[in-house]
Structure 1
């Protein structure tokens, strides 16, 4: 009798994928030291305190929210408007108080959620005030609200957290670096060393380093080095052999940018945020931290299964943080000129853009023409930002159209008589087609059709 035997079935592709996903899920659910995320929460809270204090000290609450009579809301967020005086003063005081509470860490989810809402509300009141690091702060406040990184039983940090949360914060920081690096791969940055050439030459009188900053090759070297830094630093920080040198580069890079360029809190936010790429237990080895936290737990350990809903959120969040910064690639033309999809894309320090705008309003019933200066409606800061940003120009034209309608000129036509813009040291050129009735142009997701072609000349500097 012949006995037939069957070899065990080989696992198919689907079973291999399932096994790999199970391994990945187990890896992400393993619990690691929560000290670095706890210290990040403390730093984020103190950043809110400093940010709020700066608005009071410099009078920015009044300058940005009280003095303007017109604002530029974000699409879909027209209901977000500054609170009547003294509401915004109270709101910024709340930001500072919530920052202190977040740094302490008790009830961090409620505190973080309130800070996320209040800070984001202040940031999204007016496009004029958009800053990349304010957007970053809003994002990480959302993550802090969801992550289990509140105050531990015996210190400022939780003893352990699922590894998933550490990687999600690292991912968000990497998006800032990599998005900024990819955005620098442009002719102006790499082939003309602009706008660094303009900015560095303004520091030619600085002691010791000033003469170097006046040399063109230094601008080229710093431009290429900046792009290389952004594109490589997350990986250098993650690799154990290069970690210490990489963090030293982080400090040197951001201290230098803080000294040379007026970019607010961004360098400091990135310096303390980049510490998350280090070993998660590093704070427990700092002399000033010892005694504040629970004893270090050795190595990762198996954690509890995380809910499927959390994985769905993480996948959606990651997808948005990848696609939103890259959406500018779907638009034709020079993005520095059109600024299609420029915000929320980590386009940091990419351009020096100056412009002037004058509108002409035409009464369709009588043909009478009225000249309009931006300063008739806007503060100097608003006028400066609006004159070079196409979506804000459209919003301003609609603002003027509606104002004339209230004054008895319905259906007014609005034209950009003058719209001279200088991009990265080039001679000024018209930005807007002067024959287009801006009152009829609707801002949307498509490419702008009312703009003149981007300049192709070389920068003058």
Structure 2
């Protein structure tokens, strides 16, 4: 335990704060410039918030542009280290609200940003090379307790651990998913021909498993650290180019600073910084480690395995999919028809779903059980406001990894009256055995 509190050079944490703040600003300003904010917050009549957070809806008009611009400014303040904890806390709150507010464009790195923001609030990342340290010289320090690097390494290790475990399923192991993923990915026929080769998409599948499984141990071991970093650089740049997944590849790469000796990071990024000579353990904020980080990491280990205790295959039901680091694992497509019945007259009521949803939202309610349930509840409330009590029946068929379509939702269940089970299987989601037969 004493080793956790031994002082080490704080250069890795300081440079990570600078990288991190820049990436926060790039993510939020980029969301405005690329049209992401317009597509997900301005254009829709409403957003599919996370269940239980339906009251969170976008600001009216162009308010979300100002909202994201504010987050961009806060990211810059984090990078500069000005009122660091206030700036990062404000960003964390605003970003978390954004995350809860919409899931049509769900991405694992949006969740990852929340977690790392939360961790960084408790770390002394503004004690050097910051406006805070310049304005308040008494807070300036060259060191941090060893556990500060440890929590960052543990967080990224958890991500890679569960990313590895989730790939051990048939469609990944036989290359089905990677083959589909690489189809029509390159405008150059020669490159696309390589992508179409079985050896190549199997290589991508198994190198993905190997990378996720070995990258953290190899970064921890001095003899393989540089090789691992080069492999990480190639892997993430390939993903950035072919998959176009925003800042996540660069975000993941920035964690490498915690695996190298702090003195090496100091020599690389802070050449004028004095050499650390402290040797006494640093017990400040000891309670943070025991009362925040230990429970925090227990939760981080439990959340990704919760789907193992829910009936059905998570690839099919989506129950327990989010918050479990199941990244880029499957393709999903489907179609849904909503039938609204007036309970009093027993007659169907015409309802134009297309006029209510954006194209992206329409695709979501085509194959996502939670979105189908939420839209059914919204339809029920819409007609209740007109004095009508309605039933909503859904005929939904879904394909996983371009395999044959199967019925997802029980067509005999009134989805307007159905309950949502947060922790266990929802019985209105149909289940199938390994041979594709419906489980009664």
**Under a length normalisation based on structure 1, what TM-score does the superposition of the two structures give?**
0.88
Matched, 1:184 2:163: no
Matched, 1:436 2:419: no
Find the counterpart in structure 1 of residue 34 from structure 2.
Answer: 58
1:386 CA displacement: 2.6
Matched, 1:92 2:51: no
Find the counterpart in structure 1 of residue 260 from structure 2.
Answer: 278
Contact 2:377 2:416 in 1 (8 A): yes
Contact 1:128 1:382 in 2 (8 A): yes
Contact 1:337 1:454 in 2 (8 A): no
1:56-113 CA distances to partner (integer Å, 9 max, x unpaired)?
A: 2122222211221122222343343222233211111111111111001132111111
Find the counterpart in structure 1 of residue 404 from structure 2.
Answer: 427
Find the counterpart in structure 2 of residue 227 from structure 1.
Answer: 209
1:308-334 CA distances to partner (integer Å, 9 max, x unpaired)?
A: 354121111010110011111111222
Matched, 1:206 2:185: no
Whole-Å separation in 2 of the counterparts to 1:284 and 1:406: 63
Secondary structure of the corresponding residue to residue 209 of structure 1: helix
1:271-310 CA distances to partner (integer Å, 9 max, x unpaired)?
A: 1123322223332222x6423xx22325864223543354
Change (3 A) 1:426 1:99: same
1:46 CA displacement: 0.5
> Over aligned residue pairs, what C-alpha RMSD do you find?
2.1
Change (3 A) 1:234 1:303: same
Whole-Å separation in 1 of the counterparts to 2:253 and 2:207: 18
Moved more, 257-266 or 91-100: 257-266
Contact 1:429 1:455 in 2 (8 A): no
Find the counterpart in structure 2 of residue 366 from structure 1.
Answer: 345
Secondary structure of the corresponding residue to residue 426 of structure 1: coil
Change (3 A) 1:309 1:43: closer
Aligned pairs for 1:26-37 (under 5 A) are: 26-37=2-13
Moved more, 208-217 or 351-360: 208-217
Contact 1:149 1:161 in 2 (8 A): no
Change (3 A) 1:115 1:362: same
Whole-Å separation in 2 of the counterparts to 1:154 and 1:126: 34
Find the counterpart in structure 2 of residue 160 from structure 1.
Answer: 143
1:352-396 CA distances to partner (integer Å, 9 max, x unpaired)?
A: 111111100111111111354532321111121232211111111
Change (3 A) 1:309 1:199: closer
Secondary structure of the corresponding residue to residue 416 of structure 2: helix
Matched, 1:315 2:291: no
Contact 1:361 1:371 in 2 (8 A): yes
Contact 1:426 1:457 in 2 (8 A): no
Contact 1:203 1:214 in 2 (8 A): no
Whole-Å separation in 2 of the counterparts to 1:454 and 1:279: 51
Find the counterpart in structure 2 of residue 379 from structure 1.
Answer: 358
Find the counterpart in structure 2 of residue 450 from structure 1.
Answer: 428
Whole-Å separation in 1 of the counterparts to 2:221 and 2:142: 24
Change (3 A) 1:263 1:373: farther
Which residue of the other structure, out of 224, 233, 239, is the alignment partner of 1:242?
224
Secondary structure of the corresponding residue to residue 439 of structure 1: coil
Whole-Å separation in 2 of the counterparts to 1:206 and 1:150: 47
Contact 1:147 1:165 in 2 (8 A): yes
> Could you list the runs of 5+ residues in structure 1 that have no partner in the other structure?
1-23
Contact 2:333 2:399 in 1 (8 A): yes
Aligned pairs for 1:14-413 (under 5 A) are: 24=1, 26-152=2-128, 158-191=141-174, 193-203=175-185, 206=188, 208-286=190-268, 289-291=270-272, 294-297=273-276, 301-304=280-283, 306-410=285-389, 412-413=390-391
Contact 1:195 1:350 in 2 (8 A): yes
Contact 2:5 2:145 in 1 (8 A): yes
Contact 1:42 1:102 in 2 (8 A): yes
Whole-Å separation in 1 of the counterparts to 2:145 and 2:322: 32
Count of residues paired in the alignment: 428
1:144-163 CA distances to partner (integer Å, 9 max, x unpaired)?
A: 11111114168999511111
Secondary structure of the corresponding residue to residue 297 of structure 1: coil
**Under a length normalisation based on structure 2, what TM-score does the superposition of the two structures give?**
0.92
Secondary structure of the corresponding residue to residue 128 of structure 1: coil
Contact 2:80 2:130 in 1 (8 A): no
Whole-Å separation in 2 of the counterparts to 1:353 and 1:102: 37
